[in-house]
Amino acid sequence: MDTYEFIADDLSQTAELASQLASLFRPGTVVALDGDLGAGKTAFSQAVARALGVGGVVVSPTFTIIKEYEGTELPFYHMDVYRLSMEEADELGLDEYFYGDGVTLVEWASLIDDLLPAERLSIYIEYMSEHARRFRLVPVGEPYIHWCSRLKENGLLR
């Protein structure tokens, strides 16, 4: 499996990665986010939301589990499964989101690994310093593999 790397020196570069990716998103896109508390999963998700044209405030879904933003060309589904057991997650019927018309981002995705589509873009975010983060992207299946290789050709990823 090929992996790709992006170093964000600050929040604006995290937003740049988010917006470059978001411009490629299509119905049924699934992005699995992992990384320690405060790594930047929500910050990245907020930047994706803005890039998709979601207006207003995009809050962390830690307490709501799933936030749905509609009314944009691509509906945006933002999940945080940190507080869920596998059993609870299973009962939510997440496939309706994953295989629906929108884009789904899942924070703490590895906690429900068995419930995620095999084909997805996994992103692991690592804290480097106060403002710097390392993003490791692991695409499985199309179109994700194609997106990453394109963004590497463009010089965004390495």
Ligand X SMILES: Nc1ncnc2c1ncn2[C@@H]1O[C@H](COP(=O)(O)OP(=O)(O)OP(=O)(O)O)[C@@H](O)[C@H]1O
Residues making contact with ligand X (CB under 6 A): 8, 10-11, 14, 35, 37-43, 60, 62, 107, 131, 133
Task: Provide the minimum distance between the beta carbon of 5 and ligand X in the complex, in angstroms, as a whole number.
Answer: 14
Q: Cα Rg for the chain, rounded, in angstroms? A: 14
The Cα diameter of the chain in Å comes to 41
Q: Which residue is nearest to Mg ion (CB)?
A: 42
Q: Between β-strands 66-69 and 76-80, what pairing exists: parallel, antiparallel or unpaired?
A: antiparallel
Per the document, the length of the chain is 158
- Give 52 or 106: the residue with its C-beta nearer to Mg ion: 106
Query: Binding segment for Mg ion among 27-35, 39-47, 51-59, 133-141 (CB under 5 A)?
Result: 39-47
Comparison of 34 and 107: residue with beta carbon closer to Mg ion: 107
**Other residues' Cβ atoms within 10 Å of the Cβ of residue 154:** 9
In whole angstroms, the minimum distance from the beta carbon of 35 to Mg ion comes to 9
Q: Say whether residue 120 binds Mg ion (CB under 5 A).
A: no
φ/ψ (deg, to 5) at 7: -105, 120
Rounded to the nearest whole angstrom, what is the least distance from the CB of residue 146 to ligand X in the complex?
25
**Minimal CB distance to ligand X: which residue?**
40
Using CB under 5 A as the binding rule, whether residue 42 contacts Mg ion is answered as yes
Phi-psi region of 76 (alpha: psi -120 to 50; beta: other; left: phi over 0): beta
